[in-house]
Amino acid sequence: MLTGVRRAESVKRSKRQSVERCFRDGSTLFIHPIFHWSDKDVWEYIRERELPYCSLYDEGFRRLGCICCPMQGEKGMIRDGERWPKYKAQYIRTFQKMLDKKIADGFDVGDWRTGQDVWDWWVRPNHPKETDEAQLTIFEGCS
């Protein structure tokens, strides 16, 4: 399997190898042909060949992924929510459905009362790790 993984993308990726076996079953071989490329190398390749690319990079985005991804931190999540308000609204509706289900099933939801409460907690930096574990569990009752 060929991928576009590059070591320059993150500290975690920098610890990977340019050729790897799937950690799950070992039967798939992952080859990362541009693993050693820098950001500059990627942009030179794109520009020299006049390849199309997402215009968000022209707006200052350095990496693209899920809208409101928690991996980008509070500022990125808030920025995404402001730029794409319909996605933010969907997150809040989904959080509300989660709360409604947890309450209907008799689970404690702590101080959360609305989907907006969950959103506010989710984007807050460094939310406490000691938060009630029931609030962090997706698959209640699974062992």
- pLDDT, greater one: 140 or 98: 98
Q: What is the pLDDT of residue 139?
A: 44
Would you kindly state where each structural domain of the chain is located, as residue ranges? 7-64, 83-136
User: Quick check: 108 pLDDT over 60?
Assistant: yes
Mean pLDDT across 87-116: 95
Q: What is the pLDDT of residue 39?
A: 93
Give 18's contacts (C-beta < 8 A, 6+ positions apart): 31, 32, 33, 35, 36
